[in-house]
Structure 1
Amino acid sequence: MRLAAILVAAALSSLAPAAPAHAQAAVDLALVLAVDGSSSIDDREFRLQMRGYADAFRNPRVVQAATTGASHRIVVTLVQWSNLHDQRQAVPWTLVEDAQSAGRLADLIENAAREVPAGSTSISGAIDFSARLLGDRRWQPARRVIDVSGDGLNNMGRQPSAARDAAVAAGISVNGLAITTEVPALDIYYEDNVIGGPGAFALATDSFENFPEAILKKLLREIVGLPGGPSIAEVPPAP
């Protein structure tokens, strides 16, 4: 009788639906920070970009914005890019759900080495690579956003508008931060060719020294656009 009971139980268990290999984590936003590492960016300018992102995630206003949505957390990764086939995920997907996790992300960004070779400027390659990263099935985001920052026009690969359109068709928004030191009207170029999707926007900064201020403004605008999230006015200022 005992053997028969074991055999029956085994047969029934084989008919039960298999448990998923892993559950997707709900997040309010999956954000790819795509940072220009092309030849027009020298090492000092590159470090200013990375430090700007790091400092932003240490800012209490960004932490507050990231933790006020329905899921109370976002997930962020950072990509460095230059040529058509030169993109690196320099910082892995990292959850931001409190000041401590935001600080860990800031440290990872600030300490990340420059991994891409200096070369051409393939904005389209950066968008395509970032869109593939947003297919990561570990996350179930309410929104998916690519944030491209750079100081030049696309000069390698397909047109950035084609990559942008493909990303938007996949449900991804693309925002931009144009550094206008090399191309004064780069923000207009970004508006016409790079950004797209619900709530998409482009900001401009006229120097790398002002990059951190622009990054803070841009991140707050990206994050507080979440459904159910706060408005910019509702995010408390830094002490």
Structure 2
Amino acid sequence: MFHALALLFSLIAGSTQVAAGPVQVDVEILLAVDVSGSIDIEEAQMQRSGYVEALRHPDFISAVRGGMLGRIAIAYFEWAGVVDEQSVVNWQLIEDPGDAEEFAEKIDKPITGSRRGTSLSNAILFATASIESNVFSGARRVLDISGDGPNNAGPEITPARDAALERGIIINGLAVLIRPSVSFVALDRYYEECVIGGPGSFVLPIHEPQDFAVSIRQKLILEVSGSKLAPLPKAAGWEGRPDCLTVW
């Protein structure tokens, strides 16, 4: 009799768990941060600190609480030629300042070094799988990806980008232009044409290290609230459209 009751309770618990379904949130946001060799340790630390400051800022919490449900899901990882698996901070629900502080503390660690290559495509593929497999269901699903150069490693960028867009994932970009490559000065336009996509997608350029904190906060608030950003002005020295498949 005891074993029969135990089996019954386990079946009820299992069916309840299935019936509960995914956790509903206003938006799922995955932060994908470039730590490739062209970003020095000081810049990488400023970039990470920018995310930490943004998560702790009252305006970010206000944006979260301003949604229909008043909660979001968020995750974080760093990438270069490949994704740094040790940097992954798994998906977490954020409803209040305590949740945001807990998540910020998980990423508020010293930078240990950079890695070779810039594979936006690998980062997008990893992010797509993570967003597809998490336990949350958002009205919007956003990949927030930073980078200081075009795709030069891994698969081609456009198939990876298009696969994410087909799954309803919006990709926004943070183009780091602190030390732009002489051969590729219009990184913000490369992001516009080759990386970002989806309804209301946008790219923000960063030209000075001290701009990280403000720009990242602005970007997160726009993503949480679903607000739109005005199109970028034409980049200086820009002519035509980039070839997204060229390895620069």
The match for 2:45 among 44, 47, 58 is 47
The structure with the largest alpha-carbon Rg is 1
TM-score by length of 2: 0.79
Deviation of 1:89 after TM superposition, in Å, equals 4.7
The match for 1:100 among 88, 94, 98 is 98
Deviation of 1:172 after TM superposition, in Å, equals 0.3
**Distance of 1:113 and 1:27 partners within structure 2:** 31
> Which residue does the alignment assign to 2:190?
189
Deviation of 1:85 after TM superposition, in Å, equals 5.7
| More off after superposition, 91-100 vs 17-26 | 17-26
| More off after superposition, 40-49 vs 136-145 | 136-145
1:178 counterpart = 2:175: yes
Show the 5 A alignment for 1:107-146: 107-111=105-109, 114=112, 118-146=115-143
Q: Runs of 4+ in structure 1 displaced over 3 angstroms?
A: 17-23, 84-89
> Which residue does the alignment assign to 2:79?
81
Distance change >3 Å, CA 83–CA 26, structure 1 → 2: same
**Distance of 1:137 and 1:52 partners within structure 2:** 25
1:207 counterpart = 2:237: no
1:57 counterpart = 2:85: no
**Distance of 2:105 and 2:82 partners within structure 1:** 28
The answer as to whether partners of 2:77 and 2:84 remain within 8 angstroms in 1 is no
Other structure's SS at 2:88 match: strand
Deviation of 1:111 after TM superposition, in Å, equals 2.3
Show the 5 A alignment for 1:30-45: 30-45=28-43
Give the number of equivalent residue pairs.
218
Sequence identity (%) = 37
Q: Tell me the alpha carbon deviations over residues 39-94 of structure 1, each in whole angstroms, 9 at most, x when there is no partner.
A: 11111111101100000011111111012212211111111001146555522212
Distance change >3 Å, CA 108–CA 169, structure 1 → 2: same
Deviation of 1:136 after TM superposition, in Å, equals 2.4
> Which residue does the alignment assign to 1:237?
none
Give unmatched runs, 5+ long, in structure 1.
233-239
The answer as to whether partners of 1:67 and 1:74 remain within 8 angstroms in 2 is no
TM-score by length of 1: 0.82
The answer as to whether partners of 1:77 and 1:89 remain within 8 angstroms in 2 is no
Distance change >3 Å, CA 110–CA 129, structure 1 → 2: same
